[in-house]
Amino acid sequence: MPTLGIDLGGTNARAAVVDEQGRILASAKVALTERSPMAVVEVIAQAAASAMAASGGAQVRGCGVGAAGQIHRDSGVIAVAPNLGWRNVPLGALLAERLGHSVRVVNDLAAAAWGELHAGAGRGATDVYVVFVGSGVGSCVIANNQLVRGAGGVAGELGHTKVIPNGRRCGCGELGCLEAYAGGHNLIAQAREVLLAGRSPGLAELTEGDPSRITPLTVERAAEAGDPAARELHERAGQMLGMAVANMVTVLNPARLIIGGGVLLNCPGIRRYVVEGVQALSSNTSREGLLIAEAELGDDSGLIGAALLGL
């Protein structure tokens, strides 16, 4: 019997009916017009109903949810979800009551990693480290075919390791996190600051002076064209990511490192910093036999992984 997978982002909720082999039978997406917990629950319920109808009325035996944020291990309570502005929201209980199914809530990167392990770039491996850099920086550890979740359920939060004491404020509310410098959203914010301060003629030319047109790829192109301010931001983000991921390879000794997310897949320069950082900075023994692979499932990894975890 298939399972329902939910991918909850900051702007949309996606739902899919997924079979035991990780194949999507049907899916649906509904935009979030409000971000209050009950409004989001209703949007998820709407997406789930649409996906099940599109599957021909398939019966599901449970539900898994991947959500961006820090999630308590067993309760399904979202401790912090910056994109939604949530703190301590019992999403698992709210959804179980609304959907009438058991619900398991995990971090979106845990869901994506589980999907890649079983149906994507992680097939055949048992010890995997997954890093996605998109609007934020997320990671997940799989050891001996098991998610490493930690005592409270928030293990593997690479984006919230500290890289500069008392540095930039992160969306999690803390200071100096890796995500505050290398996540796509914060990289754009830093680039807007230097553009508005008149310090980046390269960005000004590429965007025609419009801060809303800045993307991580814009920063990369300005950096490669020789703009000093853009190069500083680009190098700092790339070097921080490369060192952070290399250190995790040294600590974890995975067989496979899977990288993905919009920034790493669309910005080859930043991706190169990560790959070269791992090759240069992780310990020799930890990277023996290490395979670095790009995520294969794209936007579907979280849906598939959430559904399989919902089993």
Judge whether residue 68 has pLDDT over 90. no
For residues 58-67, average pLDDT? 92
Confidence of residue 57 (pLDDT cuts 50, 70, 90): confident
pLDDT tens digits, residue range 138-185?
999 999 999 998 888 888 889 999 999 999 999 888 999 999 999 999
Helix 216-224 vs helix 268-281: crossing angle, to nearest 10: 80
Q: So what's the pLDDT on residue 72?
A: 87
Judge whether residue 59 has pLDDT over 90. no
Judge whether residue 246 has pLDDT over 90. yes
Confidence of residue 81 (pLDDT cuts 50, 70, 90): confident
For residues 235-264, average pLDDT? 97
Q: So what's the pLDDT on residue 74?
A: 80
Q: So what's the pLDDT on residue 73?
A: 80
pLDDT tens digits, residue range 173-182?
899 999 999 9
Assign residue 61 a region (left: φ > 0; alpha: ψ between -120 and 50; beta: otherwise): alpha
Burial 58-76 (b: 16+ CB within 10 A, else e): bebebbbbbbbbbbbeeeb
Q: What percent of the chain has pLDDT over 70?
A: 100
Q: So what's the pLDDT on residue 292?
A: 97
Q: What is the mean pLDDT of the chain?
A: 94
Confidence of residue 9 (pLDDT cuts 50, 70, 90): confident
Query: HSE on the CB side for 177, CA within 13 Å?
Result: 19
Rounded CA gap, 202 and 219, in Å? Answer: 9
Residue labelled with tokens 């049907």: 26
Rounded CA gap, 27 and 98, in Å? Answer: 19
pLDDT tens digits, residue range 95-145?
999 999 899 999 999 999 999 999 999 999 999 999 999 989 999 999 999
**Domains observed in the chain:** 3-116+299-310 (3.30.420.40), 125-295 (3.30.420.40)
For residues 276-283, average pLDDT? 98
